[in-house]
A and B are shown apart, each in its own frame.
Chain A
Amino acid sequence: ETGVTQSPTHLIKTRGQQVTLRCSSQSGHNTVSWYQQALGQGPQFIFQYYREEENGRGNFPPRFSGLQFPNYSSELNVNALELDDSALYLCASSSRGPGLGEAFFGQGTRLTVV
């Protein structure tokens, strides 16, 4: 086990609703990244938080937003849910710095939008 925990594990929401997903980082890690993984695809980078600031963003609209807390845990918020938002959402924690690149992933939250 990686020590990265995500909640909830599964979630069903209706189109147009809002959702908040949560992630607890591995102890000692100061960086959290979020990824969206559609079925049969690789994870797609959403954004990264380092020291409570957004530090890099992938090609996702502003309705995807996040927070990182002083204890390095994090939230992903998605507003105005669309059917295409149905996916596995992965959180990964890591330590920032050269040569410290490996990411430790949680088990993911499976979001279904109906």
Chain B
Amino acid sequence: SQKIEQNSEALNIQEGKTATLTCNYTNYSPAYLQWYRQDPGRGPVFLLLIRENEKEKRKERLKVTFDTTLKQSLFHITASQPADSATYLCALDPQTGANNLFFGTGTRLTVIP
């Protein structure tokens, strides 16, 4: 069966450290993989998109890697801040441009001052 697993439900780190979140998937062949941030009671907010032929993508303090052989994506937040505390969701788009997204369960990140 198809699965998208994010490494842990909750992750606590000290301010200033790098947070690393993991997304593993089985029985998907995603054209794209995306990462979203979700705050309590709000809809997800898009952060980064990476294509199947890309290994790494960066945006400010964020970095995403995508390994289609391992079927894994890593999401890094460097120099983390308390304002980064939120739930982070990975999402797969199995079809080019169709935007039918399949989400993992999310990792709740808490950055401790």
- Residues of A that sit less than 8 Å from B by CB: 2, 4, 31, 33, 35, 40-45, 48, 55-56, 58, 90, 92, 94, 96-108
A43: B residues at CB distance < 8 A: 44, 89, 101, 103
Q: B97 contacts the other chain (Cβ, under 8 Å)?
A: yes
Q: Which of B20-47 contact A (CB under 8 A)?
A: 32, 34, 36, 41-46
Return the contact of A45 from the options B32, B44, B45, B101 (Cβ within 8 A).
Answer: B101
Contacting pair B100 A56 (CB below 8 A): yes
Chain A residue nearest in CB terms to B51? A99
Chain B nearest CB: distance from A96 CB in Å? 6
The residues of B with any CB-CB pair to A shorter than 8 Å are 4, 32, 34, 36, 41-46, 49, 51, 89, 91, 93, 95-106
Contact among B42, B46, B97, B103 for A98, CB-based, below 8 A: B97
A2 to B37, CA, bound (A): 13
Do B34 and A101 have beta carbons less than 8 Å apart?
A: yes
For residue A99, which residues in chain B have a CB less than 8 angstroms away from its CB?
51, 97
A104 CA to B93 CA, complexed, in Å = 14
A42 pairs with B106, CB closer than 8 A: yes
Cβ–Cβ < 8 Å partners of A35 in chain B: 101, 103
Say whether A45 contacts B105, CB under 8 Å: no
On whether the beta carbons of A103 and B97 are closer than 8 Å, the reply is no
In the assembled complex, which residues on chain A have CB atoms less than 8 Å from the CB atom of B103?
35, 42-45
Q: Which residues does chain A contribute within 8 Å of B41, judged by CB atoms?
A: 107-108
Apart from A45-B102, A92-B99, A101-B34, what 8 extra A-B contacts exist at CB < 8 Å?
A2-B43, A33-B101, A43-B89, A56-B98, A101-B49, A103-B44, A105-B43, A106-B43
Contacts A42-B89, A42-B105, A43-B89 given; does A97 touch B97 at CB 8 Å: yes
